[in-house]
Amino acid sequence: MIVPLTAYLVVAAVLFAIGLYTVIAQRSAVMVLMGVELILNAIGLNIVAFWRFTAPGDYSAQIFVILVITIGAVEMAIGLALMMLLFRQRQSVEVDGYMELKR
Amino acid sequence: MMYIGGILVMILFMVLFMHDPGGAMMAGMGGLSPPERWFSAGLVPRGDGAGDPGQTEEAQGEGDAPEHQDEHRHQDDDDGGEGMMDMSMVTPARPLAAWLAGGVGLALVALLLLRPAWRLAPSMLPDPDSARQVGNLLMAKYMIGFEGAGFLILIGIVGAVLLARPSSYPDDPSREARVAVDAMPPPIEPEGLDPLSPLPARDGPAEPQRHSGRGAGDA
Amino acid sequence: MTGSGLVAVPLLPLLAAALALAIGRRLPRAGGVLLVVSLAGSLAVLLSLRAGGRLSADWLAVGRFRLLVGLEATGLTWFAAAVVAATALAVSLYAIGYMRDEPTGQPRFFAGMGLFAGAMLALVLASSFIMLFAGWELVGLASYLLIGFRSREDRAVAAATRAFLMTRLGDMGLLLGWLLALLATGTTDIGAVLDAARSGQWVPGFATLLGFLMFAGAVGKSAQLPLSAWLPDAMVGPTPVSALLHSATMVAAGVFLLLRLFPLFQAAPGALALVFWTGAVTAVFAALVATAEMDLKRVLAWSTSAQLAEMMIAVGLGVPYAAALHFATHATFKATLFTAAGSMERQTGTRDLGRLGGLARAMPLTAAVFAAGALSLAGVPPFAGFWSEEAILSAAVARGPGRGLLMVGLALLTGVYIGRAGIAAFGGRSRGAARTGPPQAATMRAGMIALAVAAVLAGWLLQGSSLAGLLGMREPPRAGAGWRGLAIAAGLAGLSFGGGRAWICGGVPALGRFPQFLATGLDRATRAAVEPAKRASTDLDAIERVQDRSARALAEAVICVSAGLDAIEHALDRGARAVSGSARVLAHGAEWVEARGFGQGGDRLAAALGDGGQRLRALQTGKLYLYTLGLFVWAAGALGAGLVLLLR
């Protein structure tokens, strides 16, 4: 069967919402990073869905998605590295523990 | 399809690593916003929030069942202990976040109602030539972007390694954040302002002496 | 294109010199190794280029004058440059060992040596008078620096100054000469000037005048008679300096100049005659003085003067081929003699012929090297000096028996002084001086042996028509066997006489004391020439005193004026005080306003701002999720507002 475009878009919207919720509501920095990744992937899903249904002959969309994933991966690597650094310094990955800027 | 499968795996990982899947522990406590309560009602936390992913799961086919099993098992493990940890896994802004996320999601879905008439391409058959096309595009039209992404990865990897490398001085005291002084500056006293103290040596011929007198008065 | 490599030839030693000066302390052997390598590089480049390259560029053109700079490898310049580079290479190798124990200034020394060799190579290869003159002056400067190397000794400073000033006296002639040539031809290209001389387009006296002027430069540099007193004094420098200075770089420049400009001299028979007679007188004089000197190095120095004079004789006889050949062989054997003398001085701490003696057993290598150089100098076949001196003899005989006899006499004198010096130093009984110094360094030995081998073989290898072809000069017809035998016999007789006398009587002067009076006479004459200059300077002093007095009067007038100005300024000062008093009253008022109004008001404003800041601070929670929340709420709000605006 053929899944309609609307279904993809709804999934993407829900992914975005979940990512948004995760970013704000989760205390663990790892989870915040995952939320960011979810948001990125929601966007990627949107792009691919639009490509598939409106312009399947133009493969630029795939390239954009590749780039989005690439950037997501890099961001994840840097984020996790920062996390490790922070954890090593203060034995916690909870984002509201990092309050040095407020003094 | 592959991509959607990837996202599912992502969700699975999220569920695996999260200590509080769907806020089940929070269900009995106050301070839950209505959408949260709604989310937390079912045992399978994400399933109901997205009836739409259900469709994708149908498209995925055989991948469903084991994932759900995994979710259940881990949820049980997590429920076993560590209550205080679960308590602290969410921020105080969680109700707001839930409202905001629900609102944004609903708004996005609602936007579909306004959607213009996209001209849908009729052919849905997968193109066997797509890999080559993508390759051509990568190497021709989007080469700069592609190279940029590659460079970004390189920098990212190097940066990550540099950051995460165990340094010889993990806790340099000199790098502690310095606390700014909270005290107010001392108020300006009218007595303190006396830049025009009387000039010494009114008849003195030497200019430098006058200057030194001024300097001493200021100090 | 063949010429572009030529730049490397003088540049490599100069570069080594600059490096030695800049970072010499950190280089191996204070830059000595670098110098040797650079000289070897120069020699290699030179040998790989062969003759014929040319590299020239306009430096500037003013009116009808074109000033060129450039390098050129004609047969003559290529040959001379090869001689210079090879000799300098061997001498610097020797210098590494010689300077090994010098406590300070090694980088300075090697920098000086590099400058010396590089400047000489530039001089030799120059294709324009400017370049030649620059090299000429640089050579003079380098010799000044090196002779005065031990700058804490008064004698060294005095000798360096003397050498510099006396050669400058000759340089003035050269400078005037090439400026005159520039005026006449409008170019500084040596080839063009020589062509003009060859074509005979000048008025008859002009070439002669040019020749005189150029020859004055050569006289100064090559220590010919009026200006020869500086050369023996220059012996206070370290021995490698003497070796280089006497063999290839400094004094040879004068002879080289004559060879380079030989077509000009050909066009000026008067100048040629002057060259010949100057050479003849200097040769006899210097050789006589050399028989009486008690200092080994000074003997060698006078000998250099005499040998250069023989080259002058050859040039003056119109046979530059003989002079060029002698230029090369003299470079080898004189450097050999000096390195041997230096080695001996380093071992025994003295070079006084009255105290040396019987050292051959203690220092066999040094003695052998010295013997090779001495035999070569005395013209004993088949050593190098024989071939070139025979060429000069042939040239002299061709011009008449009188001149031939002069050459034979010179050979005799040469044999006498060098035989005496050699035997007095190395033969006979020991007279006090003994070997006390440290053992010789390997590099010293290598340099000495290389030079000695050259001193034995160079003449036989070089002489002949191939060299004449390379130089573009014709070989003189060989003298008859009688003349040649006579000259050899004279040399051997001189050697045996001088040697025998030294063997028996020690280091006393070979021909009595009268040559010493010649030397002191020359010294006195030089000093006498200085006297008028001194008197002139006292006159100048008097004039200056008058000027001084008038300047004082002027200054007093100025002081009077300034006193008047001072009074005026006092009046102005009083006015200014009044102004400042009123300004102070005003300022007191302003102070009250500022303190009461602005000061306290600003204080209150600051307090209010501080309170507001404290309140605003609460907004900055430092909590990441609140920031994120704020971001998304704002974005959602903005999108919503946009949507509303869009739909309205």
C633 shares contact with chain B (CB less than 8 Å): yes
Structure tokens at C442: 């390997």
Smallest Cα distance from B83 to chain A, Å: 15
Number of inter-chain CB pairs under 8 A, B vs C: 44
Distances from the Cα of C444 to the Cαs of B50, C338, C344, in angstroms? 95, 12, 12
Which H/E stretch holds residue A60?
Answer: helix A60-90
- The reported pLDDT for the residue numbered C464 is 67
Q: Is the pLDDT of residue B41 over 60?
A: no
Cα–Cα distance between A68 and A16 in angstroms, integer? 15
Select the residue from B1, B2, B4 to test the A interface by mutation, using most A Cβ atoms within 10 A: B4
**What pLDDT is recorded for position C162?**
81
Q: Which residues in A36-64 are b (16+ Cβ under 10 Å) and which e? A: bbbbbbbbbbbbbbbbbbeebeebebbbb
Which is it for the CA torsion B147, B149, B153, B156, positive or negative? positive
Mean pLDDT of B72-95: 50
Q: How confident is the model at residue B60 (pLDDT cuts 50, 70, 90)?
A: very low
Q: Enter the DSSP assignment of C432.
A: S
pLDDT at B192 over 80: no
* Cα–Cα dist C245/C87, whole Å: 11
Interchain CB distance below 8 Å, C623 and A99: yes
Kindly indicate the confidence band of residue B36, based on its pLDDT and cuts at 50, 70 and 90: low
- Check CB contact under 8 Å for C625 and A23: yes
Residue C568: CB partners within 8 Å, gap ≥ 6? none
Measure the CA angle with vertex C382, ends C381 and C385; round to 5°: 75
Bridge partners for A39 per DSSP: none
> Are C343 and C440 in contact, with CB atoms under 8 Å apart?
yes
Ordered DSSP codes for chain B: -HHHHHHHHHHHHHHHH-SSGGGTGGGGSS---HHHHHHHHSSSHHHHH-HHHHHHHHHH-TTHHHHHHHHHHHHHHHHTS-HHHHHTTB-TTHHHHHHHHHHHHHHHHHHGGG-------S--SPPTTHHHHHHHHHHTTTHHHHHHHHHHHHHHHHHHHHHHSPPS-TT-GGGSPPPPP-SPPPPPPTTT--TTPPPS-TT---HHHHHHHHHHHH-
Is pLDDT above 60 for B56? Answer: no
* B188, B194, B202 member nearest C603 (Cβ): B188
Question: Which of B93, B187, B190 lies closest to C625 in CB terms?
Answer: B93
Residue C179, beta-bridge partner list:
none
Identify the segments of chain C with pLDDT beneath 50: 1
C372: amino acid identity, one letter: A
Q: Tell me whether residues A98 and C629 touch, CB distance under 8 A.
A: no
Quote the CA–CA distance of C267 and C194 in Å, as a whole number: 10
Contacts of A56 in chain B (CB under 8 A): 121, 123-124, 127
Interface test mutation site (partner C, options A27, A32, A102, max chain C beta carbons within 10 A)? A102
Beta-bridge mates of residue A28? A94
pLDDT in tens, A35-72: 999 999 999 999 988 888 887 778 888 888 888 888 88
Picking from B99, B111, B196, B211 by the largest number of C CB atoms within 10 A of its own CB, the best residue to mutate is: B196
CA distance between the termini of chain B: 79
Q: Give contacts of B183 with chain C, Cβ < 8 Å.
A: none
Question: Are A103 and B179 an interchain contact pair (Cβ–Cβ within 8 Å)?
Answer: yes
Of C3, C11, C71, which Cα lies nearest the Cα of C41?
C11
Rounded CA-CA distance C405/C520 in Å is 28
pTM for the whole structure: 0.56
At residue C254's C-alpha, the angle toward residues C249 and C260, to 5°, is 100
Residue C112's nearest CA partner among C148, C161, C71, C165 is: C148
- Classified as helix, coil or strand, C264 is helix
For residue B207, the chain C residues in CB contact (below 8 A) are: none
Tokens of C522: 């020359």
Burial profile B176-190: b = 16 or more Cβ within 10 angstroms, e = fewer: eeeeeeeeeeeebee
CATH of domain A5-91: 1.10.287.3510
Question: Distance, in angstroms, between C599 CA and closest chain B CA?
Answer: 7
- pLDDT for position C560: 93
**What is the model's pLDDT at position B213?**
40
Asked if A53 lies within 8 A of B4 by C-beta distance, the reply is no
Residue C87 CA to residue B113 CA, distance in Å, equals 100
Give the β-pairing of C65-72 and C54-62: antiparallel
| Length of chain A, in residues | 103
Q: Which amino acid, one-letter code, is at C184?
A: A
Interchain proximity A24–C625, CB inside 8 Å: yes
In terms of C-beta density within 10 A (0-12 exposed, 13-18 middle, 19 or more buried), how is residue C112 classed?
buried
Distance CA C233, CA C228 (A): 10
How far is Cα of residue C626 from the mean position of the Cα atoms in its chain? 81
Q: Using 50, 70 and 90 to split pLDDT, how confident is the model at B181?
A: very low
The Cα of B204 is separated from the nearest Cα of chain C by a number of Å equal to: 11
- The reply to whether residue C595 touches residue B103, judged by beta carbons under 8 angstroms, is no
Taking the Cβ of residue C621 and every Cβ of chain A, the question of whether any pair is shorter than 8 Å is answered with: yes
pLDDT at A101 over 80: no
Residues with Cβ within 8 Å of C114's Cβ and at least 6 positions away in sequence, in order, are: C13, C14, C15, C16, C17, C18, C20, C31, C35, C38
Question: Which residues of B are less than 8 Å from C580 in CB distance?
Answer: 199
Query: Which positions in chain B touch A28 (Cβ < 8 Å)?
Result: 19, 89
> Are B3 and A48 contacting, i.e. CB atoms less than 8 angstroms apart?
yes
Contact status of A98 with chain C (Cβ, < 8 Å)? yes
Nearest to B91 among C610, C625, C633 (CB): C625
Which residues of chain B neighbour A52 with C-beta distances below 8 Å?
124
- How close is the nearest chain B Cα to the Cα of A100, in Å? 6
Q: Is A17 on the interface with B (CB under 8 A)?
A: yes
Distance between CA A6 and CA B122 in Å, rounded? 16
Partner C contacted by B184 (CB < 8 A): yes
**C635 interfaces chain A, CB cutoff of 8 Å:** no
Q: Which residue in C100, C106, C111 sits closest to C141, CA to CA? A: C111
For residue B173, the model assigns a pLDDT of 56
In 3D space, the residue among C248, C216, C223, C235 whose CA is nearest the CA of residue C149 turns out to be: C235
Q: Could you tell me if A99 and C622 are in contact, meaning their C-beta atoms sit under 8 angstroms apart?
A: yes
pLDDT in the model for residue B32: 54
Cβ pair A81:B160 closer than 8 A: yes
- Cα radius of gyration rounded to whole Å, chain C: 37
Interchain proximity A88–B50, CB inside 8 Å: no
- Tokens standing for residue A8: 């993809």
Q: Locate the domains of chain A by residue range.
A: 5-91
Backbone angles phi, psi at C30, to 5 degrees: 55, 35
Check if C610 contacts B (Cβ < 8 Å).
yes
Interface test with B, best of A85, A92, A99, A102 (most B CBs within 10 A): A85
3-state secondary structure of C211: helix
Choose among C113, C112, C78, C89: nearest CA to C41.
C89
- Distance between CA atoms of C96 and C238, rounded to whole angstroms? 12
Q: Are C255 and C323 in contact (CB under 8 A)?
A: yes
